[in-house]
Structures are given as C-alpha cells and as structure tokens.
Structure 1
Amino acid sequence: MAKRLTKALRGKRRWFGIHVDGQFSTRNQLTNHLNMLSSKWELTTQLRLMDFNISSEGELSLAIIEVKLQDSKLLRANIGDEKAIDVFGIQSITTSGKIRLVRDRLNLPKKQ
C-alpha cells in the first residue's frame, strides 16, 4: 500500500466562489467552459468545479471552483472585476484556502 502524502507535501490550493452566467444550465456545460478558460489563460492545471448551484432562469448561478495556489493571482486578475461576467461568463465573489469558508460566505449547504 502506498503511503499517503503529508499535508505539507500536497499542493496548496485556493477555492473561489463565483457567479456564473445564466447561459450555463448544466454542470457539464460549465465544466467544459472552465476547461476552455484554463487553456486560454495557460493555467498549470484545469479549473475543477466542486459545487454548482443552478438558480432560476435569468439569474446568476453560484459555483465553487478549485485552483492551484500558483494560478490564483492570474485567475483573480481575470475574473475579479465587474466586467468579467460579460467577458468570461464567470465572476469571482470570494476566495479562501478553505472550502468550508467559501460555502459559508455563499450560504451553500455542505455537499453530502
């Protein structure tokens, strides 16, 4: 049996709480869009969709994505401003090193 990596040896990450444009009605559509953005911005790894809370039509949905620490500044620069939702279809609301804190800030229930 392989030994598990200690916490210090695992890669550090950031969790982003984001608004998602209403054009993405399924988890698969959003995942494909995030993969396209990862390639466009030349991130070291793909953006990983953890939670996706679809809201009613015409409203912005909420999602949580995982980003490697070294990519977080670039991502924040791209999706941190007001125009990001129109340009990229997503906009950053909050970020943290702990997913629990992002869920609390977005009032999302814990995934079962």
Structure 2
Amino acid sequence: MARLNKSARGKHRWVGFVVNHEQSREGLNDLLSENLTLDSWKIFDILHSDNRTIAILKVSLSDYRDAVTELNTLAGISTLTSSGKIKLVRGRIAGLISE
C-alpha cells in the first residue's frame, strides 16, 4: 500500500509537557484519556528525570489550543514547549533537562 502524501496526512502539533511525579506510559495514557476531551492524541516520547515524567504528545492542529489549555488545567501537569516538528520539541526538552 502506498504511503499518503504529506498534505493528505493532516497537520499536527507536538506538545512537550511535564508531570510532577513519575508516571508509567500506561498510567499517563489512562490519566489523559480520563481528562482530555480531544478527538485524537498520542503519546510519543516519555522519559523520567528527577522524580518527574516528561512526555511529548501529538495532537491535530485544530485541537492544539484546547490541548495546551486542558493539559495546563490538570493538577501536577504543565506544558513546556510545542512545535510543528517533533525534532524541535525533543531538542528543547533536552536543553531543559541538561540545565
């Protein structure tokens, strides 16, 4: 099966966020499923650093603003960065961790 061309795949944003305690991928998935009202999202990267969890969430461009708002209203979760390119989000998070 042929891969969809770039324009047919839809636009999305990558949102980097931190959870103030260590959380497994499954636990974080459950937490977001219960609290986010977005149509579609997916956790891509997750890492643990200094008793906290840092993750990257993929959301559609149309849901981006709602995603950031909803993540920031959850207790113990705050967004760090976002971009249309995952490489930029990964780089920014790596810079924050190394500080």
1:12-45 superposed Cα distances (whole Å, 9 cap, x missing partner): 1100010113052x1111111122223xx2x121
Q: Which has the higher strand share?
A: 2
Show structure 2 runs of 5+ residues with no match: none
| Counterpart check, 1:101 vs 2:88 | yes
Show structure 1 runs of 4+ deviating over 4 A.
none
1:100 CA displacement? 0.1
Show structure 1 runs of 5+ residues with no match: none
**Normalization by structure 2: what TM-score?**
0.83
The 1:8–1:20 alpha-carbon spacing in structure 2 relative to 1, beyond 3 Å, is: same
Q: Which has the higher helix share?
A: 2
Q: What's 1:54 paired with?
A: 48
Alpha-carbon distance between aligned partners in 2 of 1:102 and 1:23, rounded to the nearest angstrom = 20
**Normalization by structure 1: what TM-score?**
0.74
1:1-112 maps to which residues of 2 (within 5 A)?
2-22=1-21, 24=23, 26-38=24-36, 41=37, 43-45=38-40, 47-57=41-51, 60-80=52-72, 84=73, 87-107=74-94
Bigger Rg, which one: 1
- RMSD over equivalenced CA pairs, Å: 1.8
The count of residues paired between Structure 1 and Structure 2 equals 95
In percent, how many aligned pairs have the same letter? 34
